[in-house]
Amino acid sequence: MQKLQGIAVSPGVAMGEALVMDNEGFRIPRRFVARDAVEHELERLDEAIHAAGAEIERNRAAVFRELGDQYAAVFSAHLQMLRDPALRNELDAMIRERHYSPEYAVSRALRRYAKVFQTIESSYLAERANDVIDIEKRLLRNLLGRRREELAHLISPVTVLAHNLTPSETANLDREFVRGFATEIGGPGSHTALVAEGLEIPAVVGVGPFLTDVSGGDLVIIDGDHGLVILQPDEETIAHYRYEAEQHKNRAAQLATLRELPAETADKVHIELLGNIEFPHEVEHCLERGAEGIGLYRTEFLYLGAEAEPDEEVHYQAYAKVMEQMQGKPVVIRSCDLGAEKLTFDSEAARNPTLGLRSIRLSLKNLPTFRTQLRAVLRASVLGDLRLMFPLITTQLELRQAKMVLADVMEDLDEAGVPFNDNLPVGMMAETPAAVLLSDRFLEEVDFMSIGTNDLTQYTLAADRSNKEVAGLYSSSDPAVLRLIRMAVETAGRLGKPINVCGQMSGNTLYTILLLGLGLRRLSVTPGSIPEVKKICRTVTIPQCESVAEHVMSLENSRDIKSYLREELKKILPELVP
């Protein structure tokens, strides 16, 4: 058994056979071959070795021509390794005696070699590990004959272990069969993480290199509550997790009884709990949990995995579906927040995409696309209580430009006789320090504000939300972030404008008391967390929350704040403390 610590990004526990995807997206299967297929499989291996050898020779010749012998030598070393009789004997034995498939034998043998190189403390030998991995990939490419196994077409339950999953790969995971996933890289605020939460798939990211330690078919536990990945768990651990799963089920059943009850504090202050969604089908998750509306619909997910740019009708159909299902309850549609890691663009700024052309900046630069979306939003505005929100607003000029485009699109629709709500509420996200520092000015020009703590944290602390190397720094409970939240909430209160928090922080039960204590009365959260957040709301009083918040604001760092909040939550609802 091996226990690995990563970053917990989507709660719940998954147990099942591993499906391993390496960093080129190759699926490494554990597959045994029938006894009478052994000779044929050995031939396949022969062919793959031969083809891989020919590829390396071609590369060697090309590099030799351009750069000379010194650089071509690395390919000679690859060839030597590939054709090493000891390796061949090992592979043969695995296929003949253990009936491994050639793919499985190759990944098993070469990963073991790579591991040995990796564990020796020498940068030269660590580099050799990369050579071994390179040979493994070349052989697998030749054996598998195609680049990427479709994660969307599974036929049995699996836990996916991958170097990385992009937000769109995550969004396309087959929810029937993927029980959970863990990745080597990725940070706490990545979009991959929030898609996992939206899909309600337990997930752990940023585990560090571990794929060489696991094979397809191994039993794996992914503990999305504690950020653990357990390879080949022993009986005791399995029993422990089975027990936990049972407890979890009981707790969920108890919380489900709160569905029809209001999120009202013990001293009768109403807290509006809204849901965050990425896809129309998630509306169901919100309604099941008794959400009072949708506080954030991330429409950029219409683009992810789409073969062509969504046209007005694609936008409209998605929005209409959400509006119809919500039956008059408020729905905040956020205009596309593309760019950065959600969708990359080849531009000069792409070297630093988070600070580049993303979100509203991209929309304002790409007006036809922006207008298409706004037309669809306006058309859907007659179907219920629709509100529009602009993401990543940083300057007043940007906000005014976005509103001008909206006014212009309204005029077009008016002329064409297309009905829409000409009193459409327009809000903005506060997710840059600039937006918060000038929130008094911004709030004069919008109907509501939503604090995006995922980005606000990354921009305040200069810590990439999807980079595990700075995950320790990236914390929404950092005192600097909390001061900004408090500032925005106080300003909105003074100006009488509605404000909420819609970043991942708002659905984290650790922060509910604090957020209420800071004055928030609306939270837009991942649907799965509504029951627990509601439970906390119904247990506390506002003065109690205010006194906790006051103490939090006097603490020095995020670690102390988290441990204090954990203790406070433990006092009232110990079962909700992770």
Catalytic residue annotation = 191, 502
Which residues within the stretch 204-243 sit at the binding site for Mg ion (CB under 5 A)? Answer: none
Side chain identity at residue 541, one-letter code: T
**Cβ neighbours, 10 Å, residue 136:** 23
Nearest Cα residue to 195 out of 89, 341, 94: 341
- Return the number of the residue (233 or 452) whose C-beta is nearest ligand PEP: 452
Question: What stretches of 310-392 adopt beta strand conformation (E)?
Answer: 331-334, 386-390
Length of the chain: 578
C-alpha–C-alpha distance, residues 143 and 158, integer Å: 23
Q: How far is the CB of 465 from Mg ion (least distance, A)?
A: 9
Q: Which stretch binds ligand PEP (CB under 6 A): 8-16, 22-30, 446-454, 542-550?
A: 446-454
As measured in angstroms, the least distance from the Cβ of 84 to ligand PEP is 49
Pick between residue 28 and residue 333 the one whose CB is nearest to Mg ion: 333
CA 282 to chain centre: 15
Which span sits near Mg ion by CB under 5 A: 75-83, 211-219, 268-276, 447-455? 447-455
Out of ligand PEP, Mg ion, none, what residue 502 binds, judged by CB under 5 to 8 A for its kind, is: ligand PEP
Closer CB to ligand PEP, 431 or 568, in the complex: 431
Residue type, 306: A
Among 455, 464, 478, 532, binds ligand PEP (CB under 6 A): 455
Residue located via tokens 């339950």: 157
Distances (CA, A) of 73 to 70, 78, 133, 165: 6, 9, 17, 34
CA distance 108 to 106: 5
* Count of beta carbons in the 10 Å neighbourhood of residue 3: 12
Q: Which is nearer to Mg ion, 227 or 452 (CB)?
A: 452
Taking CB under 6 A as the binding criterion, the range among 147-155, 312-320, 414-422, 451-459 that sits at the site for ligand PEP is 451-459
How many CB atoms neighbour CB 168 within 10 A?
A: 17
Regarding 22 and contact with ligand PEP (CB under 6 A), the answer is no
Question: Considering CB distances under 5 to 8 angstroms, the limit depending on partner class, which of Mg ion, ligand PEP, none binds residue 197?
Answer: none
Joined together, the tokens standing for residue 223 give 């503990």
Distance of CA 181 to the CA centre of its chain: 11
Q: Which is nearer to Mg ion, 103 or 341 (CB)?
A: 341
The smaller minimum CB distance to ligand PEP, of residues 44 and 334, is found at: 334
Nearer to ligand PEP by C-beta: 108 or 342? 342
Q: Bin 401: left if φ > 0, else alpha if -120 < ψ < 50, else beta.
A: alpha
Residue 453 interaction partner, one of Mg ion, ligand PEP, none, beta carbon < 5-8 Å per kind: ligand PEP
> Quick check: 478 binds ligand PEP (CB under 6 A)?
no
The burial of 320, by beta-carbon neighbours within 10 Å (0-12 exposed, 13-18 middle, 19 or more buried), is given as middle
Select from 7-15, 53-61, 368-376, 427-435 the region that touches Mg ion (CB under 5 A).
Answer: 427-435
> Which residue of 272, 337, 464, 478 would you call a contact of ligand PEP, by CB under 6 A?
337
SS3 181: strand
- Beta bridge partners, 428, equal 390, 449
521 contacts: CB under 8 Å, gap ≥ 6: 269, 270, 271, 272
Question: Residue 161: phi, psi to the nearest 5?
Answer: -120, 120
Site string for ligand PEP, 485-504 (x = CB under 6 A): -----------------xx-
Residue 503 binding partner per list ligand PEP, Mg ion, none, with a CB distance cut-off of 5 to 8 Å that depends on partner kind: ligand PEP
Interface with ligand PEP, residue 431, by CB under 6 A = yes
Nearest in space to 16 (alpha carbons), one of 143, 152, 178, 227? 178
Q: According to CB under 6 A, which one of 10, 101, 335, 454 is a site residue for ligand PEP?
A: 454
Task: Give the ranges where 496-541 is alpha helix by DSSP (H).
Answer: 512-517, 530-539
Residue placing its CB nearer to ligand PEP in the complex, 223 or 282: 282
Give the Cα separation of 200 and 222 in Å (integer): 13
How many residues in the shown chain lie near ligand PEP by CB under 6 A?
Answer: 11
- Distance between CA atoms of 103 and 108, rounded to whole angstroms? 8
In this chain, which stretch among 71-79, 310-318, 367-375, 424-432 interacts with Mg ion, using CB under 5 A?
424-432
Q: Which residue is nearest to Mg ion (CB)?
A: 455
The answer to whether the CB of 296 falls within 8 A of the CB of 277 is: yes
**Which of ligand PEP, Mg ion, none has residue 136 at its interface (CB below 5 to 8 Å by kind)?**
none
Nearer to ligand PEP, 20 or 505 (CB): 505
# residues near Mg ion by CB under 5 A: 3
H or E segment and range at residue 83: none
End-to-end CA distance of the chain: 23
Question: Closest separation between CB of residue 388 and ligand PEP, Å?
Answer: 15
| Residue 335 DSSP symbol | P
Contact 370, 309 (CB under 8 A): no
User: Interface with Mg ion includes 278 (CB under 5 A)?
Assistant: no
Among 7-15, 173-181, 364-372, 452-460, the segment contacting Mg ion (CB under 5 A) = 452-460
Q: What is the pattern of x (binds ligand PEP, CB under 6 A) and - over residues 295-334?
A: -x-x------------------------------------
Residue 453 in contact with ligand PEP, rule: CB under 6 A: yes
Strand partners, 17: 219
| Residue range at the interface with ligand PEP (CB under 6 A); choices 102-110, 202-210, 320-328, 452-460 | 452-460
From the CB of 67, what's the least distance to Mg ion, in Å?
A: 45
169 binds Mg ion (CB under 5 A): no
Give yes or no for residue 455 binding Mg ion (CB under 5 A).
Answer: yes
- CB count in 10 Å sphere of residue 178: 24
Phi, psi angle pair for 176, to nearest 5°: -70, -35
Our CB check for Mg ion shows the closer of 33 and 428 to be 428
Interface contacts to Mg ion, rule CB under 5 A: 431, 452, 455
Interface contacts to ligand PEP, rule CB under 6 A: 194, 296, 298, 337, 431, 452-455, 502-503
